[in-house]
Structure 1
Amino acid sequence: MNHEHAFVCGHPALDFAATLRARRTVRHEMFSAPDRLDAWFVESGLVDSVTPGDDDDVERAKALREAIYDLVTARRLEREYDEEALSLVNDAARKPPATPQLTRTGRRTEASAEQALSTVARYAVELLSGPDVPLMKECDNPECTRIYVDRSRGTRRQWCGMESCGNRFKAAAYRARKKSAQATASG
């Protein structure tokens, strides 16, 4: 399976929230179809297999994602939680989660979309009530709106991921410095 989804945020709930990319500009939707949502659940490692979802599952997933993003943003900016977002996440978390089972070959987690969404919601509850809250940061790339957990030494990480944003920014900064140096040399 080729992995189209990125998991750079350091937490499943934040990776889930990041499936709507570049929120302030082009808004790139990763859950464009039910199979993309199903793929995310499996690629994230939350489940080994998921019952194929439908358009309603995609709509529920998007609503949960936006609620998680709202709550994470509120917590990061030390604002009050939006009541609707809070209810949506708590309602999803109350549903039965994906449950691992022991098989002859090891552990296997099969789930419906609802169970997988419940698992994501429970991760969000844990994150937002846990010790990593002060470590949540938004990527320094102004076009990227991913929020990640910064567990770097001295919490000095700037980018959601080097491949996705860091290298692009460093290359642009290098080109700008080189151009500036050439202008200075020729002037």
Structure 2
Amino acid sequence: MNLDHVFVCGNPALDFAATLRARRSARFEMFATPDRLTAWYVESGIVDAVSPAEDADVEQAKAVREAVYRLVTGRRLGEAYDRAALTVLNNAARTSPAVPQLTPSGRWTQATPQEALSLVARHAVELLGGPDVPLLKECGNPECTRTYIDRSRGTRRQWCGMDSCGNKIKAAAYRARKKATPTTPN
């Protein structure tokens, strides 16, 4: 089942936080149902298979997602960590994660929703406690609220992704320039 999730942020925890889209305007919830959460875990590459999620798993995932978003945003802005968000994230990270297995066809990770969520939380802990913090940026598209890791030359990247936001902004700017430029008759 492909739900067109977008993975452009450079870290699974950041992509997870971006599953509530357009936070400042329309707010589009990617985890509307348990199967959408399950699909995200597999599509993200965190795990290869996950047992079916329940409504409670979705609520827990949303709580962790919001904690990750608050912590990443606070860290990016140089603010102190939100203590409640720290507790939510650390509790999820303490849960036993899924364990990869070696099979004749290669690496395989089967997980429960709780084990998959633990992996996401651990990615967030490693990110926020690691060297990539100075590279955290918010997308330059005013309607987008994704945070991404800017590893571009000179750290000049402006958008979470060209396909998801960059092309839209560039096309809109081009249309605005064309509209503002008077045309000359031939």
TM-score, scaled to structure 2: 0.97
What RMSD in Å do the two structures reach over aligned CA positions? Answer: 1.1
Greater shift, 42-51 or 3-12, is seen at 3-12
Q: Is residue 2:176 matched to residue 1:176?
A: yes
* Counterpart residue number, 1:78: 78
Q: Which runs of 5+ in 2 are unaligned?
A: none
* Counterpart residue number, 2:6: 6
Task: Spell out, residue by residue over 1:53-100, the C-alpha distance to the aligned partner (whole angstroms, 9 max, x if none).
Answer: 010000000000000000000100010111110001001101101110
Q: Does the aligned pair in 1 maintain the 2:34–2:52 contact within 8 Å?
A: yes
What letter matches 2:49 in structure 1?
S
Q: Does the aligned pair in 1 maintain the 2:92–2:117 contact within 8 Å?
A: yes
Q: Is residue 2:3 matched to residue 1:38?
A: no
**1:2 Cα offset (Å):** 2.6
Distance 2:57 2:3 in 1: 21
**Superposed counterparts of 1:41-56, under 5 Å:** 41-56=41-56
**1:120 Cα offset (Å):** 0.4
**1:3 Cα offset (Å):** 4.4
Q: Does the aligned pair in 1 maintain the 2:3–2:36 contact within 8 Å?
A: no
What letter matches 1:84 in structure 2?
A
**Superposed counterparts of 1:119-134, under 5 Å:** 119-134=119-134
**Superposed counterparts of 1:2-151, under 5 Å:** 2-151=2-151
What letter matches 2:60 in structure 1?
R
Secondary structure of 2:62's aligned partner:
helix
**1:105 Cα offset (Å):** 1.4
State the percentage of identical aligned residues. 69
Distance 2:128 2:18 in 1: 16
Q: Does the aligned pair in 1 maintain the 2:42–2:50 contact within 8 Å?
A: yes
TM-score, scaled to structure 1: 0.96
What letter matches 2:29 in structure 1?
E
Distance 2:159 2:107 in 1: 34
Secondary structure of 1:107's aligned partner:
strand
What letter matches 2:77 in structure 1?
L
Counting matched residue pairs gives 185
What letter matches 2:56 in structure 1?
D
* Poorly superposed stretches of 4+, deviation over 2 Å: none
Q: Does the aligned pair in 1 maintain the 2:38–2:50 contact within 8 Å?
A: yes
Q: Does the aligned pair in 1 maintain the 2:2–2:39 contact within 8 Å?
A: no
**1:103 Cα offset (Å):** 1.0
**1:182 Cα offset (Å):** 1.8
